[in-house]
Structure 1
Amino acid sequence: MNGLSLGIPGVGVVSPGTHFCALYSGPAERDRLLYPFLEEGLRRGDKCLCLIDDVEPALVRDLAVGQPGPGFSRRSAQLDVERSSDVYQRSGEFSVDGMVTFLAECVDAAVADDFDLLRAAGEMSWVLPGAPGWDELFVYESSLNHVVEEVPAILMCLYDLKKFGAEMLVEVLHTHPLVLLDGTVIDNPHYVDPTAYQGAASAAAPPRYPLVRVDASDEDEADHGWASLTDAELRVVARVSEGKSNRSVAEELYVSRHTVDAHLKHIYLKLDVHSRVELTVLALRHRFPKG
């Protein structure tokens, strides 16, 4: 069962045992990722799970399953939708063991019901109010990479770039081997193996979670490169770091697509980066204003 489509237009295939994050800006972009992901699962006959707070679960079900007709009962039985906050904080606080156990039970139940795959999407803004146990979130995200690699599941964690601060988004990149950004699934160069990540997280010395670490000389070089960006280039970086496509950036800035492409080429050279993920990390590290 290799080469599974995510169902998202323009995005390639993944393998069972994949845990990835999808970075987006606002509800409309989220929906362009979430619903095709669920609909592809329903089409394939997967067991689908959606955890979301920003939309009423009943509305998600209605939009994903569709109107009554042929196959409606089957599709309806395939999809479970629950509030993120209810599931991630089932005992009143977030628990790594509790959440890992929940997902393992979901996989077991799917297999017992003769589904070939569990396809799960979790919208993560439940953590932002600072729910009890929230500081264990990224230990959990890291743990999932060992949990999921041997099971028939695809897990998509949804993070809104407009809601999460720089340090938390850096941790998102540390704990997901694949990143869906700007319509492309990217092998994440900033991913940290769970053993190394959790070893650092359990160390007594702060910070609790490892941040992007660079040598002092590299950091000075990065700062120098950042300072060399023009105002026009900074405006492009602001929008690219929100996950927007070159076409969308061009439309917002009232310039041509060719101009945006040229700016990005110069930006990559100045900052010595090679992907939009790396550029996003640098933007987050510099607490780039999104205006």
Structure 2
Amino acid sequence: MHICGFFDSREQQYEVILPYIMEGLETNEKVINILEGNRHGEHCRCLADNGISIAEKLSSGQLEVLASENTYIKDGEFAAEKMYKMLEQTLLSASRSGYDSVRACGDMVWALKNLPGTDELLEYEASLNILTPQHSCSLICMYDISSFSQKAITDALLTHPYVIKDGKISKNPHYIEPSKLISNFSDFTSEPLKF
């Protein structure tokens, strides 16, 4: 599953991702969190406050807390193909390590920095819909709706088969298959969508 999560506060975000993370850790799934490096301390405290044995889960490798600066925007730029390959390798490695599935959630705030390559985000998000069906995984791309433009929200809606809004997950009626979307970028990105 490839899911876009729309949140209007950090509290609302954690109401959704905490149970998602906890369930994954309880059921032999690899759990990956990607967020800005300066949020790692706060994030780990929040997980620990909710009963997650952070040191144990990190040292076993079941839980990974990665920085956007070392993943999405490594070397100060976003390279869609590099990020896709990194994610693909992570999914393959988790399977080889005996995990039943992978759960990942990535905070998309890095895209607001407008670093080189950020214009490849729509294509990257679309391409994940080719990757995810080949693996046992679920990916949540977390968007703060108060920070992203209407165009960015529209792009996210076009590229995710599922959406989380007001804490509820549902099938996304605006989703467009990647082959159709990638071949017609300009046609689909002109009109903002409402959800």
TM-score by length of 1: 0.61
| Structure 1 unmatched runs, 5+ | 1-17, 202-206, 214-280, 284-291
2:94 match: 110
Larger Cα-atom Rg: 1
Q: Which one of 123, 127, 131 corresponds to residue 147 of structure 1?
A: 131
Distance 2:117 2:15 in 1: 31
Structure 1 residue 123 and structure 2 residue 35: aligned?
no
Letter in 2 for 1:108: L
Distance apart, 1:53 and its partner CA? 1.6
Distance apart, 1:63 and its partner CA? 3.0
CA contact (8 A) 2:4 2:162 kept: yes
User: What are the superposed Cα offsets for residues 10-54 of structure 1, whole Å, 9 maximum, x if unpaired?
Assistant: xxxxxxxx1011111021111212222111111112111000128
Structure 1 residue 28 and structure 2 residue 22: aligned?
no
| DSSP-derived class of the 1:144 partner | helix
1:132 match: 116
| Structure 2 unmatched runs, 5+ | none
Q: Which one of 149, 169, 179 corresponds to residue 165 of structure 1?
A: 149
1:258 match: none
CA contact (8 A) 2:47 2:54 kept: no
The size of the alignment, in residue pairs, is 194
Letter in 1 for 2:181: Y
Q: 1:128 to 1:67 in 2, by over 3 A?
A: closer
| DSSP-derived class of the 2:82 partner | helix
Identical aligned residues as a percent: 27
Q: Which one of 152, 169, 173 corresponds to residue 189 of structure 1?
A: 173
CA contact (8 A) 1:200 1:210 kept: no
User: What are the superposed Cα offsets for residues 105-155 of structure 1, whole Å, 9 maximum, x if unpaired?
Assistant: 111111121111111000001010201100000100000001111201110
Q: 1:55 to 1:25 in 2, by over 3 A?
A: farther
Structure 1 residue 88 and structure 2 residue 72: aligned?
yes
Q: 1:112 to 1:66 in 2, by over 3 A?
A: farther
Structure 1 residue 211 and structure 2 residue 195: aligned?
no
Distance 1:169 1:136 in 2: 15
RMSD, aligned α-carbons: 2.5
Distance apart, 1:282 and its partner CA? 3.3
TM-score by length of 2: 0.89
Runs of 4+ deviating beyond 3 Å? 65-72
Higher relative contact order (CA 8 A, sep 6+): 2
CA contact (8 A) 2:73 2:110 kept: no
CA contact (8 A) 1:170 1:211 kept: no
Distance 1:147 1:62 in 2: 32
2:20 match: 37
| DSSP-derived class of the 1:34 partner | helix
Structure with the largest fraction of strand = 2
